Structure 1
Amino acid sequence: MSESTVSVRVAAVACATALLLAAVTPASAAVKNVYNWTQLWSAVVSRAPGDEII
C-alpha cells in the first residue's frame, strides 16, 4: 500500500467516526432524557400520599 492510500483511508475512518459520534450523541442524550422523565413520572405516580419527592 502506498503512503497516500494509507492517509486517505485514515482520513475516511476519522470522518466516519466523527459522523457516527455526531449521530449517536444526540440520540443517546434523548434516550437518557426519556429515561429520566420515566423515572420521575414513576416516582410521582407510585409515591404514597404525603411522601416527599426527592
Structure 2
Amino acid sequence: MSIAALLQAAEYLERREREAEHGYASTLPIPDDLRSVKRPKTKKSQGSRTTHNELEKNR
C-alpha cells in the first residue's frame, strides 16, 4: 500500500469523524483499494454484534 493511499485513508477517516461529531453523514465513498483490506473479525466483536442484534430485536 502506498504512502499516498495511506494519507488519503487517514484524511477520509478524520473527515468522517469530524462529520460524525456534527451529525453529518460522509459523502466520500471508500476507495476500492482500501475496501479490499479487511480486518479479521474477533470473537469479541462477533459477540458484541450478537448482543446488539438481540437488543435491537427487543427494542
The TM-score normalised by the length of structure 2 is 0.38
Between Structure 1 and Structure 2, the one with more helix by share is: 1
Q: Which has the higher contact order (CA 8 A, sep 6+)?
A: 2
The TM-score normalised by the length of structure 1 is 0.42
Choose 1 or 2 for highest CA Rg: 1
